[in-house]
Amino acid sequence: MLPHICFCCILKHGLPFASFVGVNHHEKSTLLGCALLGSEEIPSFEWVFTQWVRCVGTVPRGIITVQCMSMAGAIRKLGDYARYGELSAMMKHIVYNSPSSESFEVDWAGFIKEFELGQNRWLDPSAGGKKKTDCVVRSTEQKRDTISIKVDEQKVFWGKPVYHTFIVEFDPLSGKSRRECNKFESAGILCCHTLTVWSYYRVDTIPSCYVLL
């Protein structure tokens, strides 16, 4: 199986020009193939991916490209990527909707087994990957009606601690906060930085703006 490749598409002479770029044994970028497409729609990308795989004889382990819905739609129909939608939906359901840590562990183990991902060290918790995240308030600074709080975060990857500092702007009257990580805005889940600040200031009631109905 081929390693990861990079797929790029630019306009050339009024037509989309697609190129497949990889890395050779000298760690130099190498053009593996190219084509002129009729459009930047899913059928055109699906055609060029199918023809390229037919030429090289195998599907690459990964395809790096820009955030293009048409490209993504075509890639998901390509060989080993055909179950991407199913895999992604199941993973998100387990991560975001598990009611307890116990149910998460059971469902995650079933997910790893069903998709035969036991050899993927990034997804197998028994391989010693990411562990518990710990957060602590390092410093606070009053800024008019809000408090600027530095929260130190520690994660453990493969036995090695990784440290980051996040800024949380906290309003003690309303309990609202603005966070650098934007986890609530992107995933609808309160981050550990916000929960750490609430614990530090003894906020025991979740503001209504964080309750999703």
**Residues 150-201: tens digit of each pLDDT:** 999 888 766 778 888 888 898 888 888 888 888 887 777 888 888 888 888 8
* Residues 6+ away with beta carbon under 8 Å from 47: 37
Nearest to 168 by CA among 199, 136, 200, 197: 197
Whether the CB-CB separation of 213 and 154 falls below 8 Å is answered with no
**Residues 37-84: tens digit of each pLDDT:** 888 888 888 888 888 777 877 777 677 777 777 777 777 766 556 566
- Dihedral, 195, 199, 203, 204 alpha carbons, nearest 10: 90
**Residues 94-118: tens digit of each pLDDT:** 887 777 778 888 888 888 888 777 7
**Residues 121-163: tens digit of each pLDDT:** 666 655 555 556 788 888 888 888 888 989 998 887 667 788 8
CB atoms within 10 A of CB 125: 14
- Tokens found for residue 37: 């497409």
Whether the CB-CB separation of 81 and 75 falls below 8 Å is answered with yes
- Tokens found for residue 166: 């996040």
* Residues 6+ away with beta carbon under 8 Å from 129: 121, 122, 123, 157, 158
Angle CA 23–27–32, to nearest 5: 20
Whole-number Å distance between alpha carbons of 119 and 79: 20
pLDDT at 1: 43
3-state helix, strand, coil in the chain (%, to 5): 35, 30, 35
Whether the CB-CB separation of 117 and 124 falls below 8 Å is answered with yes
**Residues 202-213: tens digit of each pLDDT:** 888 888 888 876
